[in-house]
């Protein structure tokens, strides 16, 4: 599973986020003061969930006679849970089975958890006495919904990541730099595939690299804590606390060094040089205050020497310190994936010299350009650098670097924020697979898209049937009034169009169901077929995708016509005064139809979207083998890199796509982006209107 923290539960998350806003509004605290208590409550809710889930498993084993002794803390740990004393359980605190005020009980619970789970010692918030009990009680009860009580690890982890993202947007801590957007992290994970050994993040922030690594490992049916060991550095102790809590929410553990001893420029507290299987990081960009005298003797971590030093004996730009560190921490087969300023790949002078030495090792594997607006608190573009030390010894690969320009690959989340969709993440990974000669994985992804497209098309039939039924109900309720007037009926033309559209829609749905059923027979099975067969299946799905598009238009038209009839009847024909117009039932049916319309449109979007993803990949790589694609990707040799002053900027090499008509232009996605912009502008308008009103009130106007 590719994690997509912005879909599926986004409405659920947004409702929870309103609770955080309530706390801000009613506590008088700034976001940087209340975000740790909020994260602590989320953690406590999840720790309690895990406890009861593990307890149920243990009780089942006892009932089956497989456990004859009282459970121990190890029994809970093996189930990725903590053995919580009663005073540290969310329900016990909320039901006042504990002593003292609610604030005191929460702080005491955090102490109890730290005492029983040493990796969290000193990490959890314990200052809940600052809040009024009524406020805490309200907050805890809203976090005690049935859905949250049952939320499992992955769902709860995504809620936690959502809160981290929202706090990051507010710059709640360290200007939001503690959080790397999940789609960036997931892309790094997909390329380096951290599935064993030591995984190290020397600028770990809130621990997102570790969490996404765990998602990747568990996707392959393995236990993260049996496969990898996590190590991290984080200079800010509050951020390190966030990281430890984040790991605990996901049932993970890691060794994270915090404070002055974890400033990677000057310290290697874990002694990891040459030992890491994987290094992942999003370090601070373009730092210019590193003391050159303190680092110049560190030959183990700076095998390529220092980048430029200025007159004050400071490193002019620390980007290449980081890149040298990342390389030095890897063992002979290690891989690294890091986020870096887009300036670094073509920086000149002493930095260019370090870059030359890096390229000449043969370890630089992949470079990916990412457009701006991926980060919540800064709009600048960035690049993803990937090292592979095993590549140094591979004569077929050592002298080449894959340059991938992904600046035109994105989806718009808000007017100011973009990311990679899960499918875009997988498409980028698929290009890297082809570069590595893993055509079978490429074909597997294509087959997966096509299987899912057919399955989603079949699943859409239920949503279509529901819309058709809802449309029929609304038409039945309007019909007595619509047909009552025989002459000069302002509804006549629209009513005739609607009933005609209803018949057309029924025929279209019937044709769609037949097409989906026919395509199900041709869909790829569990065994991945060859490339030629996948070509045939993909092109065979184009009529189905077209039907999805046409049906969407037909559904939207039917919904629009019903709205026009209702508005005309109410506004110009005094429908409310007629015994033939049951206004309450019609309003109810109209609202229901709008919900059914949205469900049907979304159900039709999914299969068409997946076919487009398969088209995107297969049109560019028709033989399921790597090839250079103008404007997207190029395999560049070392002489070419040397001729460009050792630049590693993908845009310099991939060129531009042909100026022909873009057959991949996604009109629906463009409309969605426009809608995102409009929604954002409307939200800002409401906020500004409220602020203006408050200002007038304060002025006494």
- At residue 28's C-alpha, the angle toward residues 23 and 32, to 5°, is 75
The answer, yes or no, to whether residue 376 has pLDDT greater than 90, is: no
Distance of CA 326 to the CA centre of its chain: 25
Instruction: Give the β-pairing of 418-419 and 411-412.
Output: antiparallel
Alpha-carbon dihedral sign for residues 223, 185, 286, 388: positive
CA distance 69 to 83: 15
- pLDDT score recorded for residue 5: 39
- pLDDT score recorded for residue 473: 96
**Residue 542 token pair:** 């184009």
CB-CB contact of 605 with 457 (8 Å): no
Q: How many helices (H) and strands (E) does the chain have?
A: 24, 11
- pLDDT score recorded for residue 572: 81
- pLDDT score recorded for residue 365: 98
CB-CB contact of 498 with 436 (8 Å): no
Average pLDDT over residues 641-661: 88
Instruction: Give the β-pairing of 330-341 and 197-201.
Output: unpaired
Q: Which range, of 235-239, 424-428, 579-583, averages the lowest pLDDT?
A: 235-239
CA distance 450 to 427: 14
**Percent of the chain whose predicted confidence (pLDDT) is above 70:** 86
Q: Which range, of 199-208, 435-444, 479-488, 664-673, averages the lowest pLDDT?
A: 664-673
CA distance 366 to 406: 12
Average pLDDT over residues 74-96: 87
What CATH class has 173-437?
Answer: alpha beta
Closest Cα partner for 335 from 278, 272, 281, 261? 278
**Percent of the chain whose predicted confidence (pLDDT) is above 90:** 57
Per-residue pLDDT reduced to its tens digit, 286-302: 888 899 999 999 999 99
- pLDDT score recorded for residue 375: 81
CA distance 615 to 688: 43
- pLDDT score recorded for residue 249: 78
The answer, yes or no, to whether residue 154 has pLDDT greater than 70, is: no
- pLDDT score recorded for residue 573: 80
Find residue 339's DSSP bridge partners: 384
Q: Which range, of 26-40, 500-514, 628-642, averages the lowest pLDDT?
A: 26-40
The answer, yes or no, to whether residue 367 has pLDDT greater than 80, is: yes
CA distance 359 to 333: 17
CB-CB contact of 120 with 248 (8 Å): yes
Average pLDDT over residues 540-558: 94
Q: Residue 42 half-sphere exposure, CB side, CA atoms within 13 Å?
A: 30
Q: Which range, of 13-22, 62-71, 235-244, 285-294, averages the lowest pLDDT?
A: 13-22
The answer, yes or no, to whether residue 177 has pLDDT greater than 80, is: no
Radius of gyration of the chain (CA): 29
CB-CB contact of 306 with 364 (8 Å): no
Quick check: helix, strand or coil at residue 379?
coil
- pLDDT score recorded for residue 78: 80
Average pLDDT over residues 86-102: 87
Task: Give the residue with greater pLDDT, 198 vs 284.
Answer: 198
CA distance 324 to 330: 10
- pLDDT score recorded for residue 577: 81
Confidence of residue 377 (pLDDT cuts 50, 70, 90): low
**Residue 503 token pair:** 């018949």
> What is the pLDDT of the chain when averaged over all its residues?
87
Measured between alpha carbons, how far apart are the two ends of the chain, in Å? 56
Per-residue pLDDT reduced to its tens digit, 570-606: 888 877 788 899 999 999 999 999 999 999 999 999 9
Task: Give the residue with greater pLDDT, 385 vs 82.
Answer: 385
Per-residue pLDDT reduced to its tens digit, 661-701: 444 455 555 655 565 456 556 656 766 776 676 666 666 65
Angle between helices 153-169 and 237-249 (to 10 degrees): 150
Burial (CB count within 10 angstroms: exposed 0-12, middle 13-18, buried 19+), residue 590: middle
CA distance 153 to 355: 42
Per-residue pLDDT reduced to its tens digit, 109-129: 999 999 888 888 888 999 899
Per-residue pLDDT reduced to its tens digit, 609-633: 999 999 999 999 999 999 999 999 9
Closest Cα partner for 81 from 102, 53, 44, 101? 53
Predicted TM-score of the model (pTM): 0.85
Burial (CB count within 10 angstroms: exposed 0-12, middle 13-18, buried 19+), residue 307: buried
Q: Residue 233 half-sphere exposure, CB side, CA atoms within 13 Å?
A: 26
Contacts of 553 (CB under 8 A, 6+ apart): none
């Amino acid at each position: 599973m590719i994690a997509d923290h912005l879909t599926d539960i986004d409405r659920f998350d947004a409702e929870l986020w309103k609770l955080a806003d309530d706390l801000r509004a009613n506590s008088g605290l700034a976001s940087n003061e209340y975000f740790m208590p909020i994260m602590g409550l989320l953690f406590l809710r999840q720790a309690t969930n895990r406890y009861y889930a593990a307890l149920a498993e243990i009780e089942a084993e006892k009932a089956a006679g497989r456990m004859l002794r009282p459970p121990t803390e190890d029994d809970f740990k093996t189930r990725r849970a903590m053995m919580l004393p009663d005073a540290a359980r969310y329900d016990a605190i909320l039901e006042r089975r504990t002593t003292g005020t609610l604030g005191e009980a929460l702080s005491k619970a955090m102490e109890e958890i730290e005492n029983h789970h040493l990796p969290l010692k000193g990490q959890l918030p314990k200052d809940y006495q600052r809040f009024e009990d009524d406020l805490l009680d309200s907050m805890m009860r809203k976090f005690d919904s049935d859905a949250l009580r049952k939320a499992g690890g992955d769902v709860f982890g995504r809620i936690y990541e959502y809160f981290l993202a929202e706090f990051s947007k507010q710059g709640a801590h360290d200007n939001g730099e503690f959080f790397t957007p999940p789609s960036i992290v997931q892309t790094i994970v997909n390329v380096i595939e951290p599935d064993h050994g030591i995984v190290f993040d020397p600028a770990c922030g809130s621990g997102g690299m570790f969490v996404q690594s765990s998602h990747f490992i568990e996707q392959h049916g393995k236990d993260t804590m049996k496969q990898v060991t996590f190590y991290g550095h984080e200079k800010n102790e509050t951020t390190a606390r966030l990281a430890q809590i984040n790991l605990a929410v996901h049932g993970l553990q890691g060794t994270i060094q915090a404070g002055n001893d974890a400033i990677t420029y000057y310290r290697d507290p874990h002694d990891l040089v040459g030992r890491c299987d994987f290094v992942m990081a999003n370090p601070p960009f373009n730092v210019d205050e590193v003391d050159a005298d303190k680092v110049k003797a560190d030959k183990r971590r700076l095998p390529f020497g220092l980048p430029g030093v200025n007159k004050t004996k400071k490193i002019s730009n620390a980007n290449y310190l980081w890149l040298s560190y990342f390389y030095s921490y890897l063992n002979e087969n290690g891989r690294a994936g890091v986020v870096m300023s887009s300036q670094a790949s073509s920086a000149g002078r002493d930095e260019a010299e370090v870059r030359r030495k890096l390229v000449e090792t043969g370890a630089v594997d992949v470079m990916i350009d990412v457009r701006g607006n991926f980060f919540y608190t800064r709009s600048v573009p960035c690049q993803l650098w990937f090292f592979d030390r095993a590549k140094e010894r591979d004569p077929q690969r050592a002298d080449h670097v894959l340059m991938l320009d992904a600046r035109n690959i994105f989806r718009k989340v808000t007017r100011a924020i973009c990311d990679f969709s899960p499918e875009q993440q997988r498409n980028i990974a698929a290009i890297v697979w082809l570069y590595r000669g893993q055509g079978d994985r490429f074909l597997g992804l294509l087959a997966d898209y096509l299987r899912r497209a057919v399955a989603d098309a079949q699943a859409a039939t239920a949503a279509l049937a529901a819309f058709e039924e809802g449309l029929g109900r609304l038409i039945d309720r309007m019909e007595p009034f619509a047909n009552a007037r025989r002459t000069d009926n302002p509804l006549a033309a629209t009513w005739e169009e609607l009933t005609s559209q209803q018949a057309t829609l029924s025929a279209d749905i019937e044709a769609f169901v037949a097409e989906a059923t026919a395509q199900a027979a041709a869909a790829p099975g569990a065994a991945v077929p060859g490339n030629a067969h996948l070509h045939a299946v993909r092109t065979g799905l184009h009529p189905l995708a077209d039907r999805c598009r046409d049906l969407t238009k037909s559904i939207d038209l039917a919904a629009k016509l019903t709205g026009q009839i209702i508005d005309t009847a109410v506004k110009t024909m005094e429908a409310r005064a007629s015994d033939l117009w049951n206004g309450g039932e019609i309003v109810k049916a109209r609202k229901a139809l709008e919900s059914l319309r949205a469900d049907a449109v979304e159900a039709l979007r999914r299969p068409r979207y997946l076919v487009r993803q398969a088209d995107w990949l297969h049109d560019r790589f028709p033989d399921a083998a790597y090839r250079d694609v103008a404007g997207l990707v190029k395999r560049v040799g070392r002489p070419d890199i040397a001729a460009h002053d050792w630049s590693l900027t993908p845009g310099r090499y991939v060129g531009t796509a042909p100026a022909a008509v873009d057959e991949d232009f996604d009109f629906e996605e463009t409309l969605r982006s426009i809608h995102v912009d409009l929604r954002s502008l409307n939200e800002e308008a409401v906020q500004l209107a409220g602020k203006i009103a408050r200002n007038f009130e304060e002025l006494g106007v």
